[in-house]
Homo-oligomer: A and B are copies of this chain.
Amino acid sequence: MIFNLDLESEVPIYQQIVDAIIYGIATRQLKPGEPLPSVRSLSADIGINMHTVNKAYQILKNDGFVLIHRQKGVMVNTELPGVEPSFLEKLHADLKNLTAEAICRGLSREALVEQVQKIYQQMMDERRG
């Protein structure tokens, strides 16, 4: 599992960690039941504050992507969350904003859809690769 963090980014570090782990789960670099590094070791590896890693893990736990056991540490949830209304809401809101800007800039529907197709496909390909 590789974390490609950009400490200069406007995106908070904890959010980047969340995104990276969800990406890892999507591409099955991280398989359900698989343990994640401890808060302590991960923060040391990346060279960031423990609180930051902890915050990321808490968010992933609340969303149902990981389980946190006091003893066994953190692992990918064996029962990943489904397509919940709150996710659909966020998805819709984000897609709406992206699509609106795309339309303004003259990006065709085909080009936009192809982008989505390609990104989806690439992640599915990585699952087998």
Contact = CB atoms under 8 A, between A and B. Distances in A.
A67 B95 CA distance: 25
Contacts of A83: 102, 105-107
A45 interface: no
A89 B93 CA distance: 19
Contacts of A94: 94, 98
Contact of A103 (B19, B84, B112, B120): B120
Contacts of A23: 96-97, 100
A42 interface: no
Residue with the greatest number of chain B CB neighbours at <10 A, chosen from A25, A87, A104: A104
Interface size class of A (residues with CB under 8 A): 35 or more
A84 B102 CA distance: 10
Interface string A79-97: 0111110010001101111
A124 interface: yes
A12 B87 CA distance: 20
A80 B106 contact: yes
Contacts of A8: 67, 69
Interface of A: 7-8, 10, 12, 19, 22-23, 25-27, 62, 65, 67, 69-70, 72, 80-84, 87, 91-92, 94-107, 109, 112-113, 115-117, 119-121, 123-124
